[in-house]
Amino acid sequence: MSRAQDVPPAVLRQRELKWLDMLNHWDRWIIKRFDKVRLRCQKGIPPALRGRAWLYLSGGKVKKEQNQGKFQELDSQPGDPKWVDTIEKDLHRQFPFHEMFVSRGGHGQRDLFRVLKAYTLYRPEEGYCQAQAPIAAVLLMHMPAEYQSLCCLTHLICRVLLQEAIQLDGEILFALLRRVSAVAFRHLDKHKIDPILYMTEWFMCAFSRTLPWSSVLRVWDMFLCDGVKIIFRVGLVLLKSMLGTREKLKACQGQYETMELLRAIESRYMQEGFLVREASVLKWCTCVTTANSNPIGNALPVVIGP
């Protein structure tokens, strides 16, 4: 898989035209030719159209049309002081070297604050958690704050990033790992390394704080198209790559060494071409855990196939 900057201009332009046609006839494509949409997401959405494509893929376009003026209404409200204070403390931590967020009080940080505050008003029962900030920041790099980012953020939080679900996600990931890499599974099980120790940031931030930027974009292209199973697949690829052979495990004989290894994933395993290829291969592996086969003893039906 080539990076966007490595794609010849003529090919990139051709991809842009194909995406423009899809976006201009979105309902027809998403209903009748979804497999083609999925394939084009795997190849990578053209940078110039990524923001619009993410808005459509996430369902944000429909939400935006159904809630005209909602963001402006929320933006004009002061917000809960508890959440406002917490959000303000987190703003400078989000992509501090990116030109959009490098300046304290700059337009990027101001828009990030607006979106996060609006979300706490839009979903007061959930409020704010730190994982929302990097998600919202990535969205803001591709679309304006005026409700578009809020729509996408709402979709992402609802689908995969709720804190209450992270423990269950970890159990499911661990159950699937047994099918994908028995070597890695046995090692983690032997040393009693709970999934919550290594996958929380992966899942809560949708890998936005883990992978190189180009890989984040490609993973998100697929994630917004195919949903949470992409997050599981990428996690499985990383675990299999780092812990999937006895040779690799010679360097991590205990819990501490294993955790250090997972905190410093080799760069070759985080490259976009490798991740997209390996995650796409996993789609042919339909893993269903049952009460009898599940290594953690719970009935957790999970399918990571298409």
Report, as an integer, the average pLDDT of 229-254.
Answer: 93
Q: Is 38's pLDDT higher than 80?
A: yes
Is residue 105 in a domain?
A: yes
Residue 201 belongs to a domain: yes
Q: Both 32 and 12 in a single domain?
A: yes
Rounded to the nearest integer, the mean pLDDT of the chain is 86
- In this prediction, residue 284 carries a pLDDT of 53
Same domain, 32 and 128: no
Clarify whether residues 248 and 209 are in a common domain: yes
Question: CA-CA distance, 120 to 108, in Å (whole number)?
Answer: 19
Q: Taking 80 as the threshold, does the pLDDT of residue 300 lie above it?
A: no
Domain limits for position 172: 163-282
Task: Let me know if 208 is exposed, middle or buried by CB neighbors in 10 A (0-12, 13-18, 19+).
Answer: buried
Determine the average pLDDT of the residues in 236-250: 94
Compute how many other C-beta atoms are within 10 angstroms of the C-beta atom of residue 256.
Answer: 10
CATH code of 140's domain: 1.10.8.270
Does any domain span residue 260? yes
Give yes or no for a contact between 108 and 140, defined as CB atoms under 8 angstroms apart. yes
In a domain, 271, yes or no: yes
Examine the domain organization and report whether 198 and 168 are in the same domain. Answer: yes
Statement to judge: residues 175 and 267 lie in one domain: yes
Do 219 and 193 reside in the same domain of the chain? Answer: yes
Query: Does 227 share its domain with 128?
Result: no
Percent of the chain with pLDDT over 90: 61
pLDDT at 5: 57
pLDDT at site 69: 84
Domain end among 127, 159, 191: 159
Q: Looking at residue 15, what is its pLDDT?
A: 93
Distances (CA, A) of 65 to 59, 62, 71, 117: 10, 5, 12, 21
Q: Mean per-residue pLDDT for 100-118?
A: 91
Q: What is the pLDDT of residue 1?
A: 44
Summarised one tens digit per residue, pLDDT across range 203-215 is 988 999 999 999 9
Which domain CATH number covers 266? 1.10.472.80
Residue 302: predicted pLDDT = 47
The arithmetic mean of pLDDT across residues 238-255, rounded, is 92
Residue 75 lies in a domain: yes
Verdict on whether the full-model pTM lies above 0.85:
yes
Band (17; pLDDT cuts 50, 70, 90): very high
Tell whether the model's pLDDT for residue 159 goes beyond 80. Answer: no
Average pLDDT over residues 262-276: 95
Total domains, the chain: 3
- Has residue 108 got a pLDDT over 60? yes
Domain end point (choices 142, 159, 176) = 159
Q: What is the pLDDT of residues 42-99, one digit of tens each?
A: 999 999 999 999 999 988 888 778 878 888 899 999 999 999 999 999 999 999 889 9
Residue 59 lies in a domain: no
Region 202-230: what's the mean pLDDT? Answer: 93
Please report whether residue 53 resides in a domain. Answer: no
Q: What is the 3-state secondary structure (H, E, C) of the chain?
A: CCCHHHCCHHHHHHHHHHHHHHHHCHHHHHHHCHHHHHHHHHHCCCHHHHHHHHHHHCCHHHHHHHCCCHHHHHHCCCCCHHHHHHHHHHHHHCCCCCCCCCCCCCHHHHHHHHHHHHHHHHCCCCCCCCCHHHHHHHHHCCCCHHHHHHHHHHHHHHHCCCHHHHHHHHHHHHHHHHHHCHHHHHHHHHCCCCCHHHHHHHHHCCCCCCCCHHHHHHHHHHHHHHCCHHHHHHHHHHHHHHHCCHHHHCCCCCHHHHHHHHHCCCHHHHCHHHHHHHHHHHCCCCCCCCCCCCCCCCCCCCCCCC
Which pLDDT belongs to residue 14?
93
Instruction: Please calculate the CA angle 287-41-198 and round it to the nearest 5 degrees.
Output: 50
Same domain, 150 and 171: no
Query: Are 211 and 138 in the same domain?
Result: no
- Could you tell me how many residues make up the chain? 306
Q: What is the pLDDT of residue 254?
A: 92
Q: Do 173 and 204 reside in the same domain of the chain?
A: yes
Q: Residue 96 has which token pair?
A: 């501090």
Higher confidence at residue 16 or residue 5?
16
Q: Say if residues 300 and 294 touch (Cβ distance below 8 Å).
A: yes
More confident residue, 254 or 62: 254
**Residue 176 sits in the same domain as residue 154:** no
Q: What gap in Å lies between CA 206 and CA 252, rounded to an integer?
A: 26
Q: Please check whether residues 171 and 276 belong to one and the same domain.
A: yes
Asked if residue 72 belongs to a domain, the reply is yes
